[in-house]
Chain A
């Protein structure tokens, strides 16, 4: 995932891409996430100004949704599905394995990686499932987890 540091000009262009419509706030935040990797306090201030919303309103949306993070993630983002179909196929064990293999706790991060739970990737006939940098993998045994993690371009620890 290639993201760039927040800058006001780029942010303005992204907002303009949605005609600065306040009802597009969730979509604009997705665009910010894709470009900057996270939502900074400066970004929230700018969004409030340019969309004519209060900072509280923008903050309310940012903090409500799991997708929007307010601190920078690790270089890679690994999500392990924790929902029932994956539980039935050992996702609890896979989660512990992932934490051990990546050296971070669930919800934790290192420079290399952020490890997060996700509640359903819609891949429930290929459980357990994980998502690495936006790509979904199915039938993930602990061995396959190690293989997937090992093939990332920037190697994890």
Chain B
């Protein structure tokens, strides 16, 4: 009798709610009952609300059990877990879970499915096929595919990836670099993390293709230090890829050399800004640089440098594999392809939803998310991280499209959606936006460094009812100054959440505002 395969995710969210304990309990129970079990630590499918999501493979089909706790394991075995038996935690076949089935999985198609650190499993799911194709087709074909796909930077700024790569490719230099921005600091975002933990080779392949396309032989991953498990997984993936010849000199006989160094950030939010990240990679304080020069011309160690987000880079292999037109067929207007939206905060069914651009915020928050976790009415959603606007529930019919969001004074950013119920005090959230900017400002430019502190003070006065109208005008003026005169998005976009609160929730600034009952 062959061993029954049981999948238990080894991914931060799943582990944070007990997946390791579940894995231990399953191994112990199998030993006790004399069952042959092969425990596979997969990544996450991204249905985080169901974590720990345990799957059992029965006749080639994976049967899912949700929210499994270690204490459930004996009961699950008694109920016939190994043959997919009935149990209150049984959800059914994984490939029939609506939350997952109704997505447009492109970049995240292997997440949850494969064993993250197995190169064989990766290869069995079209892994490294794109790199081989790139070697055959040549750099120009890769650049063309990335350009034609319409892929834009998924870190938040949405800059066309093809143009960035072309600039680096066209700039003469003795050394060029590929840097991956894995400093996923926005609250409400975790798609980079899920990808790196669930399909790390997908990122490594994307970076290698980028290196080949622009003529760079060295890559860096700048990973935030708040992700220790991701660090372990990526380190192992890098070692395995080197051992198997997918990184290093003369990769698989192609004559192309490329290797990747993994760096840890050190708790600074602003290091997610590309030039601050480059400074940090050079071992310096993460202080923002003036632009120009663009990093594509003079970036890391003043050499031409591609700076791309994890999801951007990991989207490339299948663009090369399947063709630019396939990717561009997803999405709307100038927002082509898919985005991994992340449902977070006060939401019933939080997790990762990769969908083509163009669906509405309401579809995401209500159809996928199922409303708030507390069961109370939704008051607002902050989209795009701490620098994104708070959007009131009445405006949720706006389509998720970069330009449509910009038009309403908001941004999609990295796709994080943080939901708040009607007990949220929005004045407090506006204050936090300024406070966070004050804590995290790199200090180089005055509007951000000083403006954020003044912003907190002005909001405090408004909330206290001191010269409310004068302070309102002052806050608007301060927002104008920060937006117009800050060096980077930290100070330049902190006004977004503040303005959105002033616009949609001004009643929360009344003196009576406090903790609502």
Contacts and interface: CB of A to CB of B under 8 A. Distances in A.
Given A24-B283, A61-B283, A120-B185, A134 B228 contact: yes
B436 A119 contact: yes
A114 interface: no
Interface stretch (A1-9, A79-87, A97-105): A79-87
Interface residues of B, number: 61
B471 interface: no
Contacts of A24: 283
Most chain B C-beta atoms within 10 Å of own C-beta, residue among A119, A134, A139 = A119
Contacts of B179: none
Interface in A50-94: 57, 60-61, 64-68, 83-89
Contact of A124 (B224, B284, B345): B345
Contacts of B190: 122-125
Contacts of A134: 228
A43 B139 CA distance: 46
Contacts of A135: 228
A125 B343 contact: yes
A25 interface: yes
Interface string A129-144: 1010011111100000
A18 to B, nearest CB: 10
Contacts, number: 151
A49 interface: no
A39 to B, nearest CB: 11
Interface string B397-421: 0000000000000000000101111
Nearest to B385: A84
A12 interface: no
Contacts of B269: 119
Contact of A84 (B187, B228, B265, B343): B187
A27 interface: yes
Interface in B423-441: 424, 429, 432, 436, 439-440
Nearest to A88: B345
A131 to B, nearest CB: 8
Contacts of B373: 89
B80 interface: no
A125 B350 contact: yes
B445 to A, nearest CB: 16
Q: Give the one of A21, A84, A137 with max B CB within 10 A.
A: A84
Contacts of B13: 123, 125-126, 138
A95 interface: no
Contacts of A25: 283-284
A23 to B, nearest CB: 4
B266 A85 contact: no
Nearest to B228: A134
A127 B347 CA distance: 10
Contact of B193 (A119, A122, A126): A122
A66 B227 CA distance: 15
Interface residues of A, number: 42
A30 B436 contact: no
A121 B226 contact: yes
B496 interface: no
A88 B346 contact: yes
A89 B301 CA distance: 42
A124 B225 contact: no
Contacts of A27: 263-264, 283
Which of B16, B280, B421 has the most chain A CB atoms inside 10 A of its CB? B16
B106 to A, nearest CB: 21
Residue of A30, A126, A131, A136 most packed against chain B (CB within 10 A):
A126
Given A84-B432, A123-B190, A65 B267 contact: yes
A48 interface: no
A42 interface: no
A124 B351 CA distance: 8
Interface string B221-258: 00011111100000000000000000000000000000
B282 interface: yes
A61 B267 CA distance: 12
A127 to B, nearest CB: 6
B418 A122 contact: no
A115 interface: no
Given A124-B344, A136-B12, A65 B226 contact: no
Of A21, A121, A137, most buried by chain B (CB within 10 Å of CB) is A121
Contact of B284 (A61, A68, A118, A126): A61
A29 interface: yes
A119 B287 CA distance: 19
B420 A83 contact: no
A136 B15 contact: yes
Contacts of A26: 263-266, 280, 283
B264 A125 contact: no
B386 interface: yes
A52 B425 CA distance: 51
A87 B16 contact: no
Given A84-B188, A88-B418, A124-B416, 4 more contacts: A30-B225, A89-B346, A122-B184, A124-B345
Instruction: State the 3 A-B residue pairs at the shortest beta-carbon distance, nearest first.
Output: A125-B350, A83-B187, A66-B267
Interface of A: 21-27, 29-30, 57, 60-61, 64-68, 83-89, 118-127, 129, 131, 134-139
18 contacts: A26-B283, A60-B284, A67-B266, A84-B187, A85-B344, A86-B345, A88-B418, A89-B373, A119-B187, A119-B269, A120-B189, A121-B12, A122-B184, A122-B190, A124-B350, A134-B228, A136-B12, A136-B15
